[in-house]
């Protein structure tokens, strides 16, 4: 206890000499805290965004037309999917071609596609704030299609050309009217390069005409082109995929393509942990240098302590305690500075549109385990660096120390 109180008094008295070591450790800890804070924040947001995103929870069931006996994506199949445990939503969709030609548009061939709530196109312009859900005969067109600028069609009522099948291989042209209520970015091609989003009832009506079947029998006789099954959680996807495939449906989970991304994001944390090696080296070199210099400068003090009855163990404990107290102050200061540094760095990074989605809005402080790791490594390395100089001080002969002084 006496050694500890003397160590605390010495640290206060020698604060100017110890300033270099404190600054060195403080900056190292602050740098690590800043890097880990931003990395933990980005990794958490990115992993959560990817693992629980709709894309990672989606299973796409496609209509199979080249396999005999393959089940139809009918309304009964949709109902079956909805009743599966762990399903959040089921989104049937179909598509059918239609054409438009008018003033300023030489002619474009588009595909009327059912809009899926889980994957709505990015709207660039619209006639109302909330475009979806679409009312009867409302359509959202790509801003540009087949080289034609369709932006001038916004808000207009168009007469479009569809096809009605009249025989096994015969069909006639027919027309219908739609109102353009929105435009979306043409780079959005999730449903194909010529997709145009139309209300579900109109898509089925046009599809039934093209197939030559009554509209009331289309979904039971022909079926939807595809059904998107959205799982409640990403963990449910493999099981649901197996159940759907076991019933003969052709299904694929986007999770199969995205599963490597969380592992890649883990590299961010791995790279950040490499900073701990740098922190350890810096703290070790700094402690060895400062502690060794202080031992040489305090030869008289060591001699007096030995002459007044201090044991080698007390001398050793005093010098190690001084290093640990200094390191504790430096680590605490570094954590505070690192927290502010992480906040500032995150604010700067969020100015980039490409990075803002991967950085959360909360305070980007490292998690508790990371803080403990940084602190433990810093203190352990400082203690290790103080052992050699402290041992040298403890073994110093008092007569030699007094004579050298």
Average pLDDT over residues 162-170: 75
Q: Residue 151 has what pLDDT?
A: 94
Does any domain span residue 109? yes
Is there a single domain that holds both residue 338 and residue 286?
Answer: yes
385 and 316 within one domain: yes
What is the distance between the alpha carbons of residues 392 and 210, in angstroms, rounded to a whole number? 94
Do the Cβ atoms of 59 and 231 come closer than 8 Å? yes
Domain containing 323 equals 2-51+261-404
Lowest mean pLDDT segment, chosen from 22-36, 39-53, 356-370: 39-53
Residue 372 lies in a domain: yes
Tell which residue, 251, 320, 235, 303, has the closest CA to residue 56. 235
One domain, residues 266 and 355: yes
Does 24 share its domain with 139? no
- Looking at the predicted structure, is the pLDDT value of residue 266 above 60? no
**Is residue 87 one of the residues assigned to a domain?**
no
Nearest alpha-carbon partner for 261 in 59, 53, 120: 53
Res 272 pLDDT > 80 = no
Beta carbons of 198 and 114 less than 8 angstroms apart: yes
Query: Would you say residue 85 lies in a domain?
Result: no
Between 172 and 345, residue with greater pLDDT: 172
Residues 305 and 374 in one domain: yes
Query: Within this chain, do residues 124 and 186 fall inside the same structural domain, yes or no?
Result: yes
Residue 236 lies in a domain: no
Q: Does any domain span residue 224? A: no
Domain match, 396 and 273 both: yes
Residues 131 and 31 in one domain: no
pLDDT at 277 over 80: no
- 233 within domain boundaries: no
Rounded mean pLDDT, 205-217: 92
How many Å separate Cα 25 from the centre of its chain? 31
pLDDT at residue 90 is higher than 50:
yes
Domain tally, the chain = 2
- 105 plus 30 within the same structural domain: no
CA distance 94 to 112: 8
Judge contact between 354 and 53, C-beta under 8 A.
no
Q: Is residue 269 located within the same domain as residue 396?
A: yes
- Say whether the peptide bond before residue 264 is cis (omega within 30 degrees of 0): no
Phi-psi region of 96 (alpha: psi -120 to 50; beta: other; left: phi over 0): beta
61 vs 240: CA distance, rounded Å: 11
**pLDDT band for position 32 (cuts 50, 70, 90):** confident
The per-residue pLDDT for 95 is 93
Task: Supply the mean pLDDT for the chain.
Answer: 80
pLDDT at 405: 46
**Within a 10 A sphere around the Cβ of 296, how many other Cβ atoms?**
12
What's the average model confidence in pLDDT over 184-202? 93
The answer to the question of residue 116 being in a domain is yes
pLDDT digits (tens, 9 = 90+) for 299-338: 667 777 766 777 777 777 777 787 788 888 888 888 888 8
Question: What distances in angstroms separate CA 226 from CA 150, 218, 219, 235, 255, one per listed residue?
Answer: 27, 14, 11, 23, 17
Check residue 338 and give its pLDDT. 80
- 44's tokens: 């958490």
Residues 45 and 105 reside in one and the same domain = no
Q: How far apart are CA 160 and CA 69, in angstroms?
A: 36
Say if residues 237 and 254 touch (Cβ distance below 8 Å). Answer: no
Q: Are residues 191 and 304 in the same domain?
A: no
Domain boundary, last residue among 192, 216, 240: 216
Over residues 370-403, the pLDDT tens digits come to 788 778 877 887 777 777 776 776 676 666 655 5
Domain end marker among 216, 241, 274: 216
């Amino acid at each position: 206890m006496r050694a500890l109180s003397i160590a605390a008094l010495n640290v206060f008295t020698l604060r100017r000499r110890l300033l270099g070591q404190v600054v060195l450790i403080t900056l190292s800890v602050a740098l690590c805290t800043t890097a880990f804070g931003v990395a933990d924040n980005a990794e958490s947001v990115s992993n959560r965004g990817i693992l629980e995103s709709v894309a990672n929870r989606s299973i796409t069931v496609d209509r199979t037309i080249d396999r005999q006996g393959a089940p139809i994506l009918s309304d009964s199949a949709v109902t079956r999917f909805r009743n599966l445990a762990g399903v959040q939503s089921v989104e049937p969709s179909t598509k059918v071609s239609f054409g438009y030609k008018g003033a300023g548009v030489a002619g474009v061939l588009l595909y009327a596609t059912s809009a899926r709530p889980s994957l709505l196109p990015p709207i660039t312009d619209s006639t109302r704030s909330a475009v979806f859900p679409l009312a009867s005969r409302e359509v959202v067109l790509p801003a540009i299609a087949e080289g034609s600028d369709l932006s001038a069609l916004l808000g207009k009522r168009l007469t479009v050309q569809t096809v009605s099948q009249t025989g096994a291989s015969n069909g006639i042209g027919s027309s219908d009217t739609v109102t353009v209520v929105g435009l979306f970015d043409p780079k959005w091609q999730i449903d194909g390069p010529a997709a145009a989003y139309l209300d579900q009832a109109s898509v089925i009506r046009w599809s039934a005409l093209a197939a030559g079947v009554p509209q009331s029998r289309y979904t039971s006789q022909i079926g939807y082109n595809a059904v998107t099954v959205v799982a409640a959680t990403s963990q449910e996807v493999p099981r649901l995929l197996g159940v759907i495939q076991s019933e003969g449906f052709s299904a694929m989970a986007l999770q199969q393509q995205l599963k490597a991304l969380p592992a890649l994001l883990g590299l961010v944390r791995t790279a950040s942990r490499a900073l701990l090696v740098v922190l350890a080296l810096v703290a070790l070199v700094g402690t060895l240098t400062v502690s060794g210099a202080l031992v040489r400068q305090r030869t008289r003090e060591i001699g007096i302590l030995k002459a007044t009855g201090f044991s080698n163990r007390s001398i050793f404990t005093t010098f190690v305690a001084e290093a640990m107290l200094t390191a504790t102050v430096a680590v605490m200061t570094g954590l505070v500075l690192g927290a502010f540094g992480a906040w500032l760095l995150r604010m700067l990074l969020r100015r980039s549109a490409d990075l803002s989605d991967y950085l959360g809005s909360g305070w980007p402080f490292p998690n508790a385990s990371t803080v403990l790791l940084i602190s433990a490594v810093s203190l352990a390395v400082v203690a290790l660096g103080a052992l050699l100089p402290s041992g040298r001080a403890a073994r110093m002969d008092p007569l030699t120390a007094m004579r050298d002084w």
